Chains A and B, each alone.
Chain A
Amino acid sequence: MVTSKSYKFSFIILIIVLIILFFTNVSLGSISIPFNTVFNSLTGSADNYIILNYRLPKAITAILVGSGLGISGLLMQTLFRNPLAGPFVLGITSGASLGVALIIMGSSVLGGFFATLLISKWSLVISASLGSFLVLLTVLIVSSRVRDTMAILIIGLMFGSITAAVVSVLSYFSSAEELQQYIFWGFGSLGDLQWNELKIFALIYSVGLLFSIASIKALNTLLLGENYAKSLGLNIKQSRLIIIIATSLLAGTITAFAGPIAFIGLAIPHITRQVFNTSNHKILLPAVFLFGAIIMLICDGIAQLPNTDYTLPINAITSLIGAPVVVWLLVRKKKMVF
């Protein structure tokens, strides 16, 4: 697929913006660190504890979260031919929520096994991963029996409702402290990751990213519709599976490590399409990566309220910033490109 217009210039600008924002993000926080100190620490000529062990992992997490959610949103929107699809239509968040709800609130309701577990960062990560994996697996098994891709969308939403209902029942029976802990998880957080956690996060993320890149040709073929794609020799079931696996690896790990980050996955592909007016995924995929990373760094910068000791929930900021941007773009262009 050849796109008549070259987007080199836009890409160069986006990369420069990303680098500037990355350094700004690292330098801002409850105490501002001058740019030259940031630069020296990152190049290894100075050793700043805050930067190396707190700010840097957080900035990297922001980049991974933003780009990963954006890409999985793009994959889902093309696969389901639906501009409202996002990374979580397959029931990934609801599965993760269920896992976390069970570990936090299940101890009082179910007792026994759950009560013996300590609620640490790792137990939250593991339960979120297990929860989203199990829900996703169920959705996959059910959807392998249906031929229509749209049915998968509905099935994903239905499983989301079921898990949400289970979470409601659990919340009803749990204590105020447990409820608060669960709600805090739901706010999302970019700053809790240690280097060893970040390594595992980045590894799974990379596998998901590779699967996404491998799907570029299939995604472009799917732009014609499934029947045309089939007539062009595309194996629909296999491509569908690879796209779903890519999304679950990306969105699943992100939810496990950073909590359910709302809105980014849905909005980033739309913001990108307004700037890059093409359907070619060879252009869109890297563009979505850059936009996702940039917008997540901005949101994180705002959420940590520079020079104060407060940090706002990242989940609120993404929607507060993202939604008006999408509305503004749509009003300005007067046309929805999809």
Chain B
Amino acid sequence: MAAEIQNIILETKNLSIGYKSKKAKNTIASNINIQLKKGELIALVGANGIGKSTLLRTLTNVQPKLNGEININSKPLIEYGSVELAKVLSLVLTETVSSKNLSVFELIALGRQPYTNWVGNLSNNDISIVNKAISQTNIEDLKHKKCFELSDGQLQKVMIARALAQDTSLIILDEPTTHLDMYHKAYILKLLQKLAKETNKTILFSSHEIDLAIQLCDNLIVMSDKNCIQNTPDNLINQGAFNTLFPNDLIIFDQTTKSFRVKK
């Protein structure tokens, strides 16, 4: 049981998320209980507007929770200082970097900022961690390119390498496969699966690629307007969690092929 607790990187208890203003409280989802364990790849799926981004923003301390608990490594999220949090949680966001004139190496090296001195000098240890992140994501050939020379797929790999260089036990990605073609969608998710296994990091990402997530993830968090459930892909299929995910007038979930089909 003690080992079990140690393995839990992030845990929420009865979490409710939403927006609070002086006048009203707008709850988007409540009663969220999820557990993310070491070395797992977890996808967060759900229809547009259901609150995936709000959940990720709440888990990453960008916006405050409404109620309940969020613990990272058994410590409440709100008790983390900003640099301390940057050492346990790294992000890959949907926005692009503002200076595309950075070289790939420079950009990845910025992941070391929480560890470097006041002027940001890299130690030999920092440089070896950056190089390791580069080889783990197979982007050695891009190392000296500038960011504006990269394709969307390449840039996404670079951003994942930057998160790896931050050396955190938890990496959260917000829709890492948008703008990518079918091959690169599979490539990025396969890469995340490999990284979770090899580095024993916990990787949580939100995605609309439910078919791919079912094939590649250890766990899925399915958000619908009724509830938010977490389980293995097979258990979720057996529970029929995907049947009610979307309105059933256009697409249906086929349990035998484990994928969505357009209604004939």
Nearest residue (CB) in A for B106 is A1
A224 touches B107 (CB 8 A): yes
Q: Which A residues are in CB contact (< 8 Å) with B62?
A: 227, 230
Contact of A234 with B101 at beta-carbon distance under 8 Å, contacts A2-B106, A282-B119, A282-B120 already known: no
State in angstroms the CA–CA spacing of A245 and B170 once bound together: 36
Contact of A279 with B82 at beta-carbon distance under 8 Å, contacts A1-B120, A216-B120, A221-B110 already known: no
B116 touches A217 (CB 8 A): yes
One of A228, A233, A273, A280 near B106 (C-beta < 8 A): A280
Q: Which A residues are in CB contact (< 8 Å) with B79?
A: none
Does B103 count as interface, using CB distance less than 8 angstroms?
yes
B124 CB to nearest chain A CB (Å): 11
B95 touches A227 (CB 8 A): yes
Q: Beta-carbon contacts of B122-138 to A below 8 Å, as 1s and 0s?
A: 10000100000000000
State in angstroms the CA–CA spacing of A231 and B101 once bound together: 21
Nearest residue (CB) in A for B146 is A277
A223 touches B99 (CB 8 A): yes
Does A196 count as interface, using CB distance less than 8 angstroms?
no
Does A162 count as interface, using CB distance less than 8 angstroms?
no
Does A81 count as interface, using CB distance less than 8 angstroms?
yes
Contact of A277 with B86 at beta-carbon distance under 8 Å, contacts A1-B106, A217-B113 already known: no
Contact of A233 with B101 at beta-carbon distance under 8 Å, contacts A216-B119, A216-B120, A217-B118 already known: no
B60 touches A231 (CB 8 A): yes
DSSP class of A's interface residues: helix, strand, loop or mixed?
loop
Nearest residue (CB) in A for B111 is A232
B97 touches A228 (CB 8 A): yes
Q: Which A residues are in CB contact (< 8 Å) with B103?
A: 3-4
A81 touches B119 (CB 8 A): no
B60 touches A81 (CB 8 A): no
Nearest residue (CB) in A for B168 is A231
Nearest residue (CB) in A for B126 is A2
Does B242 count as interface, using CB distance less than 8 angstroms?
no
State in angstroms the CA–CA spacing of A217 and B97 once bound together: 16
Q: Which A residues are in CB contact (< 8 Å) with B83?
A: 233
Pick the most buried of A217, A279, A280, A338: most chain B CB atoms within 10 A of its CB: A279
Q: Which A residues are in CB contact (< 8 Å) with B119?
A: 213, 216-217, 282
Does A235 count as interface, using CB distance less than 8 angstroms?
yes
Q: Which A residues are in CB contact (< 8 Å) with B81?
A: 233
Does A214 count as interface, using CB distance less than 8 angstroms?
yes
Does A220 count as interface, using CB distance less than 8 angstroms?
yes
Q: Which A residues are in CB contact (< 8 Å) with B109?
A: 1-2
Does B85 count as interface, using CB distance less than 8 angstroms?
yes
State in angstroms the CA–CA spacing of A213 and B89 once bound together: 28
A81 touches B106 (CB 8 A): no
Q: Which B residues are in CB contact (< 8 Å) with A216?
A: 119-120
B101 touches A279 (CB 8 A): yes
B257 CB to nearest chain A CB (Å): 38
Does B206 count as interface, using CB distance less than 8 angstroms?
no
State in angstroms the CA–CA spacing of A213 and B93 once bound together: 29
Does A225 count as interface, using CB distance less than 8 angstroms?
yes
State in angstroms the CA–CA spacing of A121 and B122 once bound together: 48
Q: Which B residues are in CB contact (< 8 Å) with A232?
A: 86, 110-111, 113-114, 166
Q: Beta-carbon contacts of B67-92 to A below 8 Å, as 1s and 0s?
A: 00000000000000111111101110
Contact of A217 with B120 at beta-carbon distance under 8 Å, contacts A1-B110, A232-B86 already known: yes
| Chain A residues proximal to chain B, CB less than 8 Å | 1-4, 81, 213-214, 216-217, 220-225, 227-228, 230-235, 273, 277-280, 282, 337-338
